Structure 1
Amino acid sequence: MQIIAYLGQNAPWSWMIAGLVLLALELVVPGGYLLWMGIAGILTGLLVMFQPLDWPLQWLVFGVLSLVSILIWVRVSRRRGSQTDRPLLNHRAEQFIGQEAVLDRPIEGGFGRLALGDSIWRIAGPDLPVGQRVRIVSAEGPVLRVEAV
């Protein structure tokens, strides 16, 4: 009971300390949510410092600030997308689209194999003989779709 009375007497500082603890937890448990909850805790502490509020209203202010800031952050981060100078880094199959190669094995029954770089890829396309020049037109998972050139 003494702890609750102490927190009630020092509500602004309690909220600010709780906000700082949430910010510190964000360093340990990344994800972004605790960051905005920590900022909401600090803002709640500042509000309570200048405008005393009852505990239920303080929790309501903290909850609303947390939810609003998290929702805004989620919307902005989803709209922003990921900017990179190497968009095909983890999409190896898509890197080959548009390239031409010579078949070292025939395509039979609609499928074959083709050596590209340091790998052998499964290819799909019309039946073609060895030595035929092909162009890679698309990638469907690990299978490259080819056509005769």
Structure 2
Amino acid sequence: MNWDYWGWWILGLLLIVVEIFAPSSFFLWLGVAALAVGGIAFVLPSLIWPIEIALFAALSIIALLIGRRLFRPQRQTSDRPTLNKRGDQYLGRQFTLEAPIVNGVGWLHIGDSRWRVIGTDTPAGAQVTVTGVEGASLVVRPSKSEPQSSEHLI
């Protein structure tokens, strides 16, 4: 069985096309390795197919490692890390309860939103501090000190 260089080039181009439809940056590097094996087979036409397969395997691993290292996603720091995490925006802030927390569950109005709150039973009008977020609920505890950033609710 003799697979000429053009077979490797076709395989390389097909793998790159697969990468276009399944973007994962995995098939791209396999395609690059196949194109490289095709280039080596063009220069050295006497290569036998087991060596070509071994070259493809080795070059695939090398291309994957180099590609992952060169094109790793860049982490960008944001000046507003809680922009799309509404509950996290309220961590540490104090609010006045409009209605009491009964059996560990209550409701709190913040701005134009109504939030479900979880915490110890607390009477209406008490100051609470947001200490965490559980799903779509704010975890609160009664405040001990005067509010620094309070919001009185209607």
TM-score (normalised: structure 1): 0.75
Q: 1:69/1:104 Cα in 2 relative to 1: closer, same or farther (>3 Å)? A: farther
Higher share of residues assigned helix: 1
Q: 1:117/1:39 Cα in 2 relative to 1: closer, same or farther (>3 Å)? A: farther
Q: Which whole-Å CA distance do the structure 2 matches of 1:27 and 1:120 have between them?
A: 45
1:43 equivalent among 33, 36, 51: 36
Q: Which whole-Å CA distance do the structure 1 matches of 2:103 and 2:94 have between them?
A: 21
Match of 1:148 in 2: 142
Match of 2:128 in 1: 134
Matched residues, percent identical?
Answer: 38
Given residue 24 of structure 1, which amino acid in structure 2 is its aligned partner? V
The alignment partner of 2:116 has SS state of strand
1:102 equivalent among 77, 96, 101: 96
Residue segments in structure 1 that go unaligned for 5+ positions in a row: none
The alignment partner of 2:37 has SS state of helix
Given residue 44 of structure 1, which amino acid in structure 2 is its aligned partner? V
Pairs aligned (count): 141
1:22 equivalent among 15, 19, 27: 15
Pairing 1:59-70 to 2, within 5 Å after superposition = 59-70=53-64
Given residue 125 of structure 2, which amino acid in structure 1 is its aligned partner? G
Report 1 or 2 for greater relative contact order, CA contacts < 8 Å, sequence distance ≥ 6: 2
RMSD: 2.8
Residue segments in structure 2 that go unaligned for 5+ positions in a row: 144-154
The alignment partner of 1:42 has SS state of helix
Pairing 1:1-12 to 2, within 5 Å after superposition = 8=3, 11-12=4-5
TM-score (normalised: structure 2): 0.73
| More divergent stretch after superposition (62-71 vs 119-128) | 62-71
Q: Which whole-Å CA distance do the structure 2 matches of 1:70 and 1:88 have between them?
A: 35
